[in-house]
C-alpha cells in the first residue's frame, strides 16, 4: 500500500574493534513522512546515521536512494544523494549572524569577498520556508533556543535535501518551541521531504511520526506505522525481552527512618519540581529513559550542577537539618555514569584513586601518611575483592568491573549514609554486573540509603525497594517494590499532565 520508500537501508552491518554496532539493520523512509528512529543507548542509532552521512563506512549491506544504490563513501556523496542533517543548536556559532551561520560552509562570493546581499536574501527565503521571519542579520547568540534550532534547520535546507535527519532536536526546547518545531516538520513533510526523527521521548513520537523503526543491539526489531502499536508496546520493543534473575535477598532494618527529604528541587529546563524521600537501608530506583534528567538530578543533588530552587533535609540521630547540595556532596558517595572521564584518575594508581576523596582522614598536619594510605587502600581492595596485581598498578589497566569497584571503594572508606549510583553497571560483563548489584544490596543491608539509576530494568528489579519514575525532569509516579516490569514500562509513557493542558 505504501509507495516505494525514498531511502532504503538493507542489512547494514558494522563492527568496531570489540563491538558489533550494527547487525543487519534495516531502515526505510518515505518522502512526505516522518520516520521515528528509536532505541536505547548503544542500540546503533548514531552508527546508522553516521553511515548515512558518509562519516562511517558500512561493512555490509546496501543503501538505496530513490531505488538507486548509493555508496555513501564520503560526506560529499551523502549530500549529493540528498541527505541533510539538522545539527543540534549547540553547534551554532553564537557570535555570528543568522545568515553567516546558515552559509558558514559555503559563502556565496562576489570577487573575493562574501556576498552579504545574496547571503541575507537567501537566508530570508529559507527561513520563510520554515514560517519564520527572523532577521538574517540578527546575532545567533541573542536568539532563543528554538530560533537557533530554526537556523540550524535552514542551514540543512540550504542544499535542498530530499531527506532531513533530526537528531534529538527537542531536548532543550520549551513545550511551545517544540510545538513550533513540529509545525515546521509538518510543513516540510507537506513539501515532500522525507524526515528521519531521532528521539527518546515516547509522547513526541506518537505526536509527530508516521512510521517508527526500533533498533536494539544493532538490529532492527520493529518497523512499521506508529498507529499500529501502543506506547507500552513501543517501550517494550526498545527494552527487549527482559531476562529476569531472582531478586537479591536482603535483611531490612527493623524501623527505617527517613534519611533524606528533597523538596521542590528545580533547575530551569532540566529538573522540574522534584520531591522525594529516602530511608536508611532502602534502594530506590530512579527509573526513566535516557535524557529524562536522571543524571542531571543526581549531579544537582551533590552540588556538581547549580540548582535554582529547592530544599534538602538530612535526618540523622533524630535531628533534621537543612543542608545545601555542596554539603550533601560531602555526605553522600556519588558514582558517576562516566567512570573513565569523571570517576577515576586513569594515570594514577589503584591505591591513590581509592583514597582520593578521603585524604584528610589519612593525613596529619596536611601530610598524607603513606602507611595509612596503603592500609586503607588494602582494606578496600580486600573488602571488594578488587583484582589488581598491587595497589600501585595503574587504575587504567584494570578491567571495567574492577575499575568500578575502585570507584565504589573510594566512597565506602568514608562509610557514607547515602550513595547515589548513576548507571553503576554500564559497560560491565554479566558477572561484574551481578557483583556490583550484590555490593549495592549488601550496603543497603548495612543501612546505607541508595538512589540507583540504571537503563536496564532487569537490574533495577533485582535490588530496588521502590521506584521513582522520571520523565522530562519530573517525578511522575512512584511505584512499590511489587511493581511488575509491565507497570514500570507503562509508567515511562506517562505524559506530564501539564503538557496535555498546554
Partner 1 sequence: MTAAALPAPLSVARRSWLRTAVVLLLVAAVLSVLWVFAPNFFKLNNLINILVQASILAVMATGMAVVMIGGGIDLSLPFSAALCAVLGAMYMRATGDLAIGALIMFVAATFIGLLNGVAVGYLGMIPFVVTLAMMSITAGAAVWLTNSISISHIPAGFVGFFRERPAGLPVPVLIALAVSVLAAFLMSRSVFARQLYAIGLNARAAKVARISTRRVLAMSYVAAGASAGVAAIMLTGRLASASANLASPSMVLDVVSACVIGGISVYGGAGRVWGAALGALFITLLGNALNAAEVSLYASQMIRGAIIIAFVAFDRFWGRGG
Question: Could you list the residues that contact partner 1 (CB under 8 A)?
Answer: 304, 329-330, 334, 336, 341-349, 352, 356-357, 359-360, 363, 366-368, 370, 373, 392, 394, 410
Task: Return the number of the residue (166 or 334) whose C-beta is nearest partner 1.
Answer: 334
Nearest approach, Cβ of residue 331 and partner 1 (Å): 10
Please, which residue, 71 or 356, has the CB nearer to partner 1? 356
Structural contact between residues 448 and 260, judged by C-beta atoms closer than 8 angstroms: no
For residue 287, what are the β-bridge partners? 469
Closest CB to partner 1 among residues 4, 370: 370
Nearer to partner 1, 248 or 323 (CB): 323
Q: First-to-last CA distance in the chain?
A: 36
Q: How far apart are CA 108 and CA 136, in angstroms?
A: 15
CB of 417 to partner 1, least distance (A): 15
**Residue 384: strand, helix, or coil:** coil
Nearer to partner 1, 267 or 339 (CB): 339
Distance, CA of 140 to CA of 267 (rounded, Å): 24
Nearest to 150 by CA among 164, 134, 163: 134
Residue with Cβ nearer partner 1 (5 or 333):
333
d(C-alpha 352, C-alpha 367), whole Å: 14
Least distance in Å: CB of 391 to partner 1?
10
The alpha carbon of residue 459 and the mean position of all alpha carbons in its chain are separated, in whole angstroms, by 18
In the complex, least distance from residue 330 CB atom to partner 1, rounded to whole angstroms: 6
Task: Choose between 344 and 479: whose C-beta lies nearer to partner 1.
Answer: 344
Hey, CA dihedral for 62, 63, 64, 70, is it positive or negative?
Answer: negative
CA distance 30 to 391: 58
Burial 271-297 (b: 16+ CB within 10 A, else e): bbebebbbbbbbbbbbbbbebbbbbbb
Specify the residue for cell string 538493507. Answer: 10
Closer to partner 1 by Cβ: residue 15 or 304: 304
Nearer to partner 1 by Cβ, of 231 and 410: the residue is 410
Per the DSSP assignment, residues forming a β-bridge with 475 are: 470
Which residue, 347 or 502, is less far from partner 1 as judged by CB?
347
Q: Residue 434 forms beta bridges with which residues?
A: none
Give the shortest CB-108-to-partner 1 separation in angstroms.
Answer: 36
Cα separation, 411 vs 351, in Å, equals: 13
Least Å distance, CB 16 to partner 1, is 23
DSSP-derived secondary structure for 249-264:
P-PPPSSPPEEEEEEE
Q: Residue 346 Cβ, how far from partner 1 at the closest point, in Å?
A: 8
Neighbours of 129 (CB within 10 A): 15
Rounded to whole angstroms, how far apart are CA atoms 236 and 16?
27
CB of 69 to partner 1, least distance (A): 42
Name which of 101 and 391 has its Cβ closer to partner 1.
Answer: 391
**Cβ 172 to partner 1, closest distance in Å?**
21
CA atoms of 258 and 440, how far apart (whole Å):
19
105 class by beta-carbon count within 10 Å (0-12 exposed, 13-18 middle, 19+ buried): exposed
Output the smallest distance, CB 337 to partner 1, in A.
11
Residue 369 and residue 424: Cα distance in Å, rounded? 31
- Residue closer to partner 1 (CB basis): 104 or 359: 359
DSSP 8-state code for residue 394 = B
Could you tell me the three cell numbers for 257?
A: 527512618
Provide, rounded to whole angstroms, the least separation between the CB of residue 359 and partner 1. Answer: 4
- Residues whose CB is less than 8 angstroms from the CB of residue 158 and which lie 6 or more positions away in sequence, other chains included: 102, 103, 106, 122, 126
Q: Are 172 and 145 in contact (CB under 8 A)?
A: yes
C-alpha cell at 38: 528509536
Q: How far is the CB of 120 from partner 1 (least distance, A)?
A: 35
Amino acid at each position: 500500500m505504501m509507495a516505494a520508500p525514498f531511502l532504503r537501508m538493507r542489512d547494514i552491518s558494522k563492527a568496531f574493534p570489540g563491538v558489533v554496532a550494527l547487525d543487519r539493520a534495516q531502515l526505510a523512509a518515505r518522502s512526505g513522512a516522518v520516520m521515528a528512529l528509536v532505541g536505547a543507548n548503544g542500540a546503533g542509532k548514531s552508527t546508522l546515521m553516521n553511515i548515512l552521512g558518509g562519516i562511517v563506512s558500512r561493512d555490509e549491506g546496501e543503501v538505496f536512494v530513490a531505488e538507486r544504490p548509493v555508496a555513501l563513501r564520503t560526506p560529499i556523496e551523502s549530500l549529493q544523494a540528498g541527505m541533510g542533517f539538522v545539527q543540534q543548536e549547540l553547534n551554532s556559532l553564537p557570535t555570528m549572524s543568522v545568515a553567516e551561520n546558515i552559509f558558514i560552509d559555503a559563502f556565496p562570493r562576489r570577487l573575493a569577498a562574501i556576498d552579504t546581499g545574496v547571503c541575507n536574501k537567501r537566508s530570508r527565503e529559507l527561513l520563510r520556508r520554515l514560517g519564520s521571519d527572523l532577521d538574517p542579520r540578527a546575532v545567533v547568540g541573542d536568539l532563543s533556543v528554538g530560533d537557533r534550532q530554526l537556523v540550524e534547520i535552514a542551514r540543512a535546507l540550504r542544499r535542498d535535501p530530499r531527506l532531513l535527519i533530526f537528531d534529538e532536536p527537542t531536548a532543550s526546547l520549551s513545550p511551545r518551541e517544540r510545538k513550533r518545531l513540529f509545525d515546521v516538520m509538518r510543513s516540510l513533510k507537506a513539501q515532500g521531504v522525507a524526515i528521519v526523527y531521532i528521539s527518546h521521548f515516547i509522547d513526541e513520537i506518537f505526536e509527530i511520526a508516521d512510521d517508527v523503526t526500533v533498533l536494539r543491539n544493532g538490529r532492527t526489531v520493529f518497523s512499521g506505522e506508529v498507529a499500529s502499536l501502543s506506547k507500552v508496546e513501543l517501550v517494550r520493543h526498545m527494552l527487549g525481552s527482559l531476562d529476569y534473575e531472582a531478586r537479591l535477598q536482603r535483611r531490612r532494618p527493623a524501623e527505617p527512618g527517613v534519611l533524606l527529604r528533597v523538596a521542590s528541587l528545580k533547575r530551569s529546563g532540566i529538573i522540574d519540581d522534584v520531591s522525594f524521600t529516602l530511608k536508611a537501608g532502602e534502594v530506590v530506583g530512579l527509573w526513566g529513559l535516557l535524557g529524562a534528567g536522571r543524571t542531571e538530578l543526581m549531579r544537582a543533588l551533590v552540588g556538581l550542577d547549580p540548582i535554582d530552587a529547592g530544599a534538602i533535609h538530612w535526618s540523622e540521630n533524630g535531628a533534621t537539618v537543612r543542608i545545601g547540595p555542596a554539603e550533601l556532596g560531602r555526605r553522600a558517595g556519588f558514582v558517576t555514569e562516566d567512570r573513565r572521564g569523571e570517576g577515576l584518575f586513569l594515570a594514577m594508581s589503584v591505591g591513590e584513586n581509592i583514597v582520593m576523596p578521603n585524604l584528610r582522614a589519612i593525613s596529619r598536619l596536611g601530610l598524607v601518611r603513606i602507611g595509612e594510605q596503603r592500609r586503607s587502600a588494602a582494606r578496600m581492595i580486600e573488602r571488594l575483592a578488587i583484582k589488581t596485581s598491587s595497589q600501585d598498578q595503574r587504575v587504567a589497566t584494570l578491567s571495567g568491573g574492577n575499575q568500578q569497584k575502585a570507584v565504589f571503594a573510594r566512597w565506602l572508606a568514608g562509610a557514607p549514609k547515602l550513595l547515589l549510583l548513576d548507571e553503576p553497571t554500564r559497560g560491565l560483563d554479566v558477572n561484574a554486573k551481578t557483583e556490583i548489584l550484590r555490593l549495592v544490596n549488601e550496603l543497603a543491608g548495612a543501612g546505607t540509603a541508595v538512589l540507583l539509576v540504571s537503563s536496564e530494568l532487569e537490574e533495577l528489579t533485582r535490588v530496588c525497594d521502590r521506584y521513582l519514575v522520571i520523565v522530562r525532569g519530573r517525578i511522575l509516579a512512584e511505584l512499590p517494590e511489587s511493581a511488575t516490569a509491565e507497570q514500570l514500562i507503562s509508567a515511562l509513557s506517562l505524559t506530564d499532565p501539564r503538557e496535555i493542558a498546554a
